[in-house]
Amino acid sequence: MTTYRTVRGMRDFLPADLAKRRFVEEKVRECFNFYGYDEVETPILESFDLISAKAGDEIRHRMYAFKDLGGRMIALRPEITPSIARVVANKLRTEVKPLKLGYIANCFRYDNPQMGRYREFWQAGFELFGSSHPVADAEVLAVNNELMRRLGFTDFSIKIGHVAILRQVFTDEGVAEADQNRLMELMDKQEHTKAYHLLSDLKVSDDCQATMKGLFKLRGTDWKNLLEKGRQLLQQKEGALAALDNLEAIIGFTRSLGVKTELFMDLGFARGLEYYTGMIFEVFVPGLGIALGGGGRYDHLVELFGGEPLPAVGCAPGIDRIALALEKKGLFPDQLTHVEKVLVVSIQKELLPKALELASNLRKQGVAAHNEVTGRSVGSALSYAGKKNYRYAVLVGSTELERQCVILRDMKAEAQREVPITNLFNEIAFR
Ligand code: AMP
């Protein structure tokens, strides 16, 4: 006999694991509603071209991609932002702006499986279309903050940067976009030495090299001071200075929005995805060296997919890593499912129809009443009810029925008493 296992990097979600994921998803949905993001769903399969257009080499090479039977090149989505931008470009062109869309969906990347890195994982997303104002960027940061607080995190930080600072410096030097992408990717992987070598190969000026080296050093929590140092370093570089001003305005608005979270500014910060055009960020909790989520501004993606030019900013909190962090910090509530279950058991076989009828009536009144369905002894049924965390067992026996009563057993208190059937619902619902 063959034993089948999950495909490498894939996971089965057993009830306890799924309850944890659902807990996080529920908090995400609360935030969708609270901040006015309408939930959408897109297909798990997308055209390879759509996803790879601006994915960055790292993700491009880790896609599950294949030809379908019709000969189309297809990919299992490695992230959702391109799908949302496609929907906005094709189907929501005429919607009033700003347009706010949310999603929760599984993604696939052929990553090396390890803690917090899976080949199938879940991302939530908040995407805001139709505003280039820094307050829109600040709102996305505030939504992230709200989500983290609602999940119970008190200690977390946001790493923040702005891709237009470096990109403007490179553009001023005439570095082609493809080379800029290679540089940004090396920086995303913290491979700074390789990035310096590439810059030398590209024969950029000494000033450009010095600026880049200088920017890499500008990182820390004293963001006001870092912005000032950035301004000194970037003197005369109008485009890069404008990006710094934009970053400062965004941070200012987050403070007005009540976001007091610690900011770790990194002016040499880059993210793997090529579509970012402005502010970028990642969320961290102490003790877990991987980002729980990330996001940023991407002003040209909708246009690239055939829509009108439409500025956009968004983020993707990673559900799995959030669950991992909640687990590590002991922040999951003790009871993830709050439904109080009642097991209805007939003491004599011939009273089974009566027990079924009773459970059915309780369900009509909104009680999660379940039937004993194996025909086993009362003792075994009660032992099952104990193991499965039933709140009550209702025992239907001939002696009590003669008095129009049943036995109500409190499984927590391990105590039981006779209760008139007419009172049963009140006894269970309004103790
Ligand atoms: P990205 O789309 O790369 O910006 O990732 C956004 C978030 O998705 C990350 O911060 C993680 O929380 C999550 N994520 C990305 N890749 C993986 C993975 N292989 N396994 C689990 N979570 C992931």
Give me the tens of pLDDT residue by residue for the chain, a chain 431 residues long.
899 999 999 999 999 999 999 999 999 999 999 999 999 999 999 999 999 998 888 899 999 999 999 999 999 999 999 999 999 999 999 999 999 999 999 999 999 999 999 999 999 999 999 999 999 999 999 999 999 999 999 999 999 999 999 999 999 999 999 999 999 999 888 888 899 899 889 999 999 999 999 999 999 999 999 999 999 999 999 999 999 999 999 999 999 999 999 999 999 998 888 999 999 999 999 999 999 999 999 999 999 999 999 999 999 999 999 999 999 999 999 888 778 999 999 999 999 999 999 999 999 999 999 999 999 999 999 999 999 999 999 999 999 999 999 999 999 999 999 999 999 999 998 76
pLDDT score, position 271: 86
Neighbours of 129 (CB within 10 A): 24
- Give the distance (Å) from ligand 1 centre to CA of residue 48: 19
CATH H-level superfamily of 15-329? Bira Bifunctional Protein; Domain 2 (3.30.930.10)
**Residue 79 CA to ligand 1 centre (angstroms):** 8
What's the CA gap between 267 and 21, in Å, rounded? Answer: 34
Q: Provide the sign of the torsion angle of the four alpha carbons 320, 325, 328, 331, taken in this order.
A: negative
**Pocket mutation for ligand 1, best pick of 24, 117, 273 (most atoms within 8 Å of C-beta):** 117
Q: What is the pLDDT of residue 34?
A: 96
For CA atoms 229, 232, 234, 238, give the dihedral sign. Answer: positive
CATH superfamily of 342-427: Anticodon-binding domain (3.40.50.800)
pTM of the model: 0.93
Q: Whose CA is nearest to atom 10 of ligand 1?
A: 293
pLDDT at site 339: 82
How many Cβ atoms from other residues are within 10 Å of residue 285's Cβ? 23
Q: For residues 171 and 164, what is the distance between their CA atoms, to the nearest angstrom? A: 10
Sole residue written with tokens 């002696």: 399
CA-nearest residue for atom 11, ligand 1, is 318
Q: Are 72 and 135 in contact (CB under 8 A)?
A: no
Write down the pLDDT at residue 126. Answer: 98
Identify the pLDDT of residue 273: 86
Query: What is the spatial order of strands in the sheet that 65-67 belongs to?
Result: 45-47, 73-76, 65-67
Number of CB atoms found within 10 A of residue 159's CB = 18
243 contacts 168 by C-beta, under 8 angstroms: yes
Which residue's alpha carbon is nearest to atom 16 within ligand 1?
Answer: 117
Between the alpha carbon of residue 245 and those of residues 76, 225, 239, 280, 303, the distances in Å are 38, 13, 10, 14, 25
Q: What is the DSSP letter of 7?
A: P
| DSSP sequence for 168-194 | HHHHHTT--HHHHHHHHHHHHTT-HHH
User: Tokens 């990553």 label which residue?
Assistant: 111
Atom of ligand 1 nearest to the CA of 283: 10
Beta bridge partners of 262: 157
Residue at token pair 């055009």: 277
355, 393 contact by CB (below 8 A): no
* Pocket around ligand 1 at a 6 A CB cut-off: 79, 109, 111, 116-118, 121, 123, 272, 291-294, 316, 318, 320-321
> In the structure encoding, which two tokens stand for residue 430, read together?
């309004």
Helical H runs in 93-205?
134-151, 163-172, 177-188, 192-201
Task: Show me where the domains of the chain are located.
Answer: 15-329, 342-427
Atom of ligand 1 nearest to the CA of 291: 10
